[in-house]
């Protein structure tokens, strides 16, 4: 089993598990790799450190601690690992929030504008909904005093595997 660090063109980092290196290359060449966050097919493999087996009868020299972020006035420069860790935390937070939003709302699909009006005018039970609306429909809803927020639902969250 081969585990590779992958990244899409929007800089979403994730792991890919493959039966072999040839399998990974074949899937990439055939456009079968997709980003679990944005569903992009523009995925490339990141360089990864080789794993070295440690012999139990040998003592390894201690490794120096990674360099901390370097302060530059009011800003902070992050090391590569710190940046990757931060990005992973942000992605996890966004995914968690989106999953919660999906679990607490009803998907009304393309009937969003119509259903939002019914709820607003008390012609339908009050509940949280999500769905699709055109820019014109959204503008009309706002003119009627109906609050709407445009939130993109990531393609990966539409499936139940996540």
Question: CA 51, CA 6: separation in Å to the nearest integer?
Answer: 17
Provide φ and ψ at 7, rounded to 5°. Answer: -145, 140
If one counts every other C-beta atom within 10 angstroms of the C-beta of residue 111, the result is: 14
If one counts every other C-beta atom within 10 angstroms of the C-beta of residue 36, the result is: 21
Query: Which residue ranges of the chain lie beneath pLDDT 70?
Result: 49-76, 154-162
Q: Are 66 and 79 in contact (CB under 8 A)?
A: yes
Predicted confidence (pLDDT) per residue in 2-12, tens digit: 888 898 888 88
Q: Which two tokens stand for residue 1?
A: 């089993």
If one counts every other C-beta atom within 10 angstroms of the C-beta of residue 8, the result is: 20
**What is the predicted pLDDT for the residue at 139?**
93
**What is the predicted pLDDT for the residue at 52?**
53
């Amino acid at each position: 089993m081969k585990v590779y660090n992958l990244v899409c063109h929007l800089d979403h980092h994730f792991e890919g598990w493959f039966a072999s290196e040839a399998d990974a290359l074949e899937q990439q060449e055939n456009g079968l790799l997709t980003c679990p966050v944005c569903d992009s097919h523009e995925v490339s493999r990141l360089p990864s450190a080789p794993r070295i087996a440690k012999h139990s009868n040998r003592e390894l020299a201690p490794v120096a601690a990674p360099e901390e972020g370097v302060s530059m006035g009011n800003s902070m420069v992050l090391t590569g690992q710190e940046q990757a860790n931060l990005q992973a935390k942000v992605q996890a937070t966004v995914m968690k929030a989106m999953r919660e939003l999906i679990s607490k709302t009803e998907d009304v699909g393309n009937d969003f504008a119509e259903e939002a009006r019914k709820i607003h005018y008390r012609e339908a039970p009050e509940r949280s909904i999500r769905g699709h609306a055109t820019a014109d429909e959204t503008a009309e809803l706002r003119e009627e005093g109906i609050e709407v927020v445009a939130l993109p639902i990531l393609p990966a969250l539409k499936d139940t595997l996540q």
